[in-house]
């Protein structure tokens, strides 16, 4: 207990986090959260009074434990309050589908090719001709088919015809769960609008401060677009300075992802820390007396919040600004400021504001990176002593990069399934260049009204970004620059952090028991990996994927797989829809083929006279029908799976001569086609599996 004594807010934050996790992992059905909170508050008060009366260490300990349980119960209650799906008037609770609904645009507007995304806060719905209050958030996709830069803006009140649909689950196995991602933001419905499906009713921004912040960010973004001639550099500049990623080039973004430098493109703690650091450097000599310290603190906090206002008050920036504001207050008014307590305070108040921040990957990575830099970096830095001043700075930067990468390593494997080998090399150059780009960019925007000074600043800003891009591309081209296809579970991620904790304790306290425990964790991980690899040796599966306007399926045996598609798949389409499942099954790289390939290894592929395809694999027959049927099957011929694809013109009676175990309608068929065909199949008594409705068909053999 004495070891915990200097860190009261760390205990409070961890207890609150424990309560949030209890709520989230009990299915969000903790109905008596308020009663539970009230019980622990009462228990704490009783034990506190008893401890004051007895004045014993054991009584104080029990009261302290009750206090932490009280905070954990508070975490459960607060999370329940922030779960909008439980609200009485929520869209989920409506018994009848609304014909119209009214709401206010309550989020940023994100540019996409041909449309724009935002979130609408619903206010009213029309059910059976009557308007009634309602709650809920709907992700809107608005067609961008006019000359206006933005079809809608924050604060616009819209009347929309039709009803939003619940967000669909992942279409393919092990795919990124976008439904859960939106649910963590309290968005449970989506609506893809047509041009004439909505009407503008006026503007009433829910938060005027955020409204003016977004307007300022748009003006600054327009200024950057005018001043940066190259689209690639403009996209990086807008993301780095303002957090606007609408114009980011996908190829250059992938390069930054694969080199472990994406963090410089996300306006977050790094950028706020860089601004904070340079301001402290300039203000260090006027930071001596108490009045000077208060004045400096007020200036720093004001400047940080002004920068947050400039970036549209994005959540990642707000988290960082809150944290550095608390650090500034602690440094000013505390004789012995403790960074761990400061982080605990920041985490507690941010999670009190929105407990679902805990599930945000950016929140997790930013706090872990700060912890790694605060604790691990000094330890790594002390390993080598360098007399040369320049080399010492390089070593310090290197250890910062390694500390941040080490502490976030398990999460990187869990969420991104990859490890950038040359992250240390990339960050040695990219971080200083991004720092220069940040400073010159802020100066260019601040002095845009001064012609010559503005020109110099923008030129410096452009060339620093250009060099950063070129260097990152060169690192990305190095051999074996990226190890990908790594698939770990949440349990394995926790085990990796447990291993890291025991190793840190071993090096900190030099006690052999921590090394022994670390060895046990390694053994558990090794046994898990051996069992997983052994089970993968015998796996066999057939998957028909849910891919819009395309036919694609995979044949998997052991740790090898073949993907067959109607047309060559775009890399992004393959990465998003197919690769997660193959990586989960231990397949590092799959062979890709199309129906036009005459020979597919391991598969008997026959193109029938009517141009349809018959594939035989592991004794399973798959008939892919994409053209009108003109061939009659032989007597007794049976196929396991018959796929109707590409809106093929076929009548149910034409399928009667075929003997098949399952009829599959894949996602290459248009909605109008499925809407017309499915009633005909039902009437003919033919059972079918609709991939667009039920998700990918996964058959484990």
Beta bridge mates, 313: none
Q: Is residue 689 predicted with pLDDT exceeding 90?
A: yes
Distance CA(150)–CA(111), nearest Å, equals 8
Distance CA(247)–CA(256), nearest Å, equals 15
Q: Is residue 21 predicted with pLDDT exceeding 90?
A: yes
Once rounded to an integer, what is the mean pLDDT over residues 486-498? Answer: 92
Once rounded to an integer, what is the mean pLDDT over residues 437-465? Answer: 89
Q: Is residue 2 predicted with pLDDT exceeding 50?
A: no
Domain ranges of the chain: 8-81, 91-206, 214-484, 490-536, 540-700
pLDDT for res 473: 93
Q: Is residue 626 predicted with pLDDT exceeding 60?
A: yes
Pick the CATH number of 540-700 from 3.40.1130, 3.60.15, 3.30.530, 3.40.50: 3.60.15
* Third-level CATH fold of 91-206: OB fold (Dihydrolipoamide Acetyltransferase, E2P) (2.40.50)
Once rounded to an integer, what is the mean pLDDT over residues 473-494? Answer: 90
pLDDT for res 419: 87
The pair of structure tokens assigned to 266 is: 């996300």
Q: Is residue 593 predicted with pLDDT exceeding 50?
A: yes
Distances (CA, A) of 307 to 23, 230, 444, 445: 35, 25, 14, 12
* Whether the Cβ atoms of residue 45 and residue 19 lie closer than 8 Å to each other: no
Beta-carbon-side half-sphere exposure of residue 521 (alpha carbons within 13 Å):
19
pLDDT for res 17: 95
pLDDT for res 251: 85
pLDDT digits (tens, 9 = 90+) for 329-361: 877 776 666 778 888 888 898 899 999 999 988
* Whether the Cβ atoms of residue 257 and residue 476 lie closer than 8 Å to each other: no
- Name the helix (H) or strand (E) containing 254: helix 250-258
Q: Which residue has the higher pLDDT, 428 or 283?
A: 428
* Whether the Cβ atoms of residue 339 and residue 374 lie closer than 8 Å to each other: yes
Distance CA(611)–CA(617), nearest Å, equals 19
Residue from 645, 641, 678, 693 nearest 662 by CA:
641
Q: Which residue has the higher pLDDT, 202 or 296?
A: 202
Count of helix runs (H) and strand runs (E) in the chain = 23, 22
User: DSSP 3-state assignment of 660?
Assistant: strand
Q: Is residue 29 predicted with pLDDT exceeding 80?
A: no
Average pLDDT in the chain:
87
| CB within 8 Å of 29: residues ≥ 6 apart | none
pLDDT for res 158: 95
Indicate left, alpha or beta for 621 from its phi (over 0: left) and psi (-120 to 50: alpha). Answer: beta
**Comparing 20-34, 274-288, 378-392, which segment has the lowest mean pLDDT?**
274-288
**Comparing 5-9, 265-269, 358-362, 526-530, which segment has the lowest mean pLDDT?**
265-269
* Whether the Cβ atoms of residue 115 and residue 143 lie closer than 8 Å to each other: yes
């Amino acid at each position: 207990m004495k070891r915990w004594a200097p860190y009261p807010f760390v205990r409070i934050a961890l207890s609150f986090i424990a309560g949030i996790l209890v709520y989230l992992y009990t299915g969000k059905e903790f109905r008596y959260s308020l009663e539970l909170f009230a019980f622990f508050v009462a228990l704490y008060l009783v034990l506190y009074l008893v401890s004051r009366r007895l004045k014993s260490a054991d009584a104080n300990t029990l009261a302290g434990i009750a206090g932490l349980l009280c905070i954990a119960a508070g975490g459960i209650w607060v999370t329940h309050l922030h779960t909008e799906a439980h609200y009485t008037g929520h869209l989920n609770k409506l018994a009848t589908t609304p014909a119209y609904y009214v709401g206010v645009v309550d989020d940023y507007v994100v540019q996409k090719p041909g449309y724009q995304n935002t979130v609408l806060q619903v206010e009213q719905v029309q059910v059976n001709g009557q308007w009634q209050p309602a709650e809920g958030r709907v992700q809107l996709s608005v067609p961008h088919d006019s000359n206006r830069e933005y079809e809608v803006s924050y604060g616009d009140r819209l009347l929309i015809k039709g009803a939003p649909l619940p967000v669909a689950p992942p279409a393919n196995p092990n795919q990124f769960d976008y439904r859960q991602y939106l649910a963590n933001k309290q968005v449970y419905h989506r609506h893809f609008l047509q041009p004439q499906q909505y009407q503008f009713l006026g503007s009433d921004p829910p938060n005027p401060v955020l409204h003016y912040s977004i307007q300022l960010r748009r003006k600054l973004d327009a200024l950057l677009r005018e001043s940066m001639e190259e689209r690639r550099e403009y996209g990086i500049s807008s993301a780095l300075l303002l957090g606007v990623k609408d114009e980011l080039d996908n190829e250059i973004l992938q390069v930054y992802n694969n080199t472990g430098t994406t963090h410089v493109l996300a306006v977050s703690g790094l950028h706020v820390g860089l601004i904070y650091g340079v301001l402290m450097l300039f203000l260090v000599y006027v930071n001596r007396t108490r009045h000077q310290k208060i004045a400096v603190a007020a200036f720093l906090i004001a400047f940080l919040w002004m920068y947050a206002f400039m970036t549209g008050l994005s959540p990642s920036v707000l988290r960082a600004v809150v944290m550095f504001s608390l650090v500034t207050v602690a440094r000013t008014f505390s004789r012995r400021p403790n960074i761990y307590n400061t982080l605990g305070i920041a985490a507690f108040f941010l999670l009190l504001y929105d407990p679902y921040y805990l599930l945000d990957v950016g929140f997790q990575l930013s706090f872990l990176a700060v912890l790694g830099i605060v604790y691990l970096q000094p330890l790594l830095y002390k390993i080598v002593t360098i007399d040369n001043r320049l080399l010492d700075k390089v070593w310090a930067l290197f250890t910062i990069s390694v500390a941040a990468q080490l502490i976030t390593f398990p999460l990187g494997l869990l969420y991104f399934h990859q490890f950038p080998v040359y992250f240390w090399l990339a960050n040695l150059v990219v971080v200083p260049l991004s720092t220069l780009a940040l400073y010159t960019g802020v100066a260019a925007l601040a002095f845009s009204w001064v012609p010559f000074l503005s020109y110099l600043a923008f030129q410096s800003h452009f060339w620093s970004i250009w060099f950063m891009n070129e260097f990152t591309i060169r690192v990305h081209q190095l051999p074996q620059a990226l190890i990908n296809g790594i698939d770990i579970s949440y349990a394995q991620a926790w085990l990796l952090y447990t291993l890291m904790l025991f190793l840190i304790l071993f090096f900190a306290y030099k006690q052999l028991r921590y090394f022994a425990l670390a060895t046990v964790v390694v053994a558990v991980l090794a046994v898990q990996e051996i069992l997983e690899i052994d089970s993968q040796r015998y796996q066999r599966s057939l998957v028909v994927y849910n891919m819009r306007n395309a036919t694609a399926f995979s044949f998997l045996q052991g740790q090898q797989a073949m993907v067959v598609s109607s047309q060559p798949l775009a890399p992004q389409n393959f990465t998003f829809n197919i690769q997660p499942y193959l990586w989960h099954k231990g397949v590092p790289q799959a062979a890709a083929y199309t129906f036009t390939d005459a020979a597919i290894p391991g598969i008997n592929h026959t193109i029938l006279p009517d141009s349809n395809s018959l594939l035989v694999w592991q004794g399973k027959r798959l008939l892919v029908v994409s053209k009108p049927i003109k061939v009659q099957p032989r007597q007794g011929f049976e196929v396991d799976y018959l796929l109707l694809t590409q809106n093929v013109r076929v009548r149910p009676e034409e399928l009667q001569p075929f003997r098949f175990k399952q009829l599959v309608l894949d996602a290459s068929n248009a909605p109008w086609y499925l809407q017309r065909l499915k009633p005909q199949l039902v009437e003919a008594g033919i059972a079918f599996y609709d991939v667009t409705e039920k998700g990918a068909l996964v058959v484990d053999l």
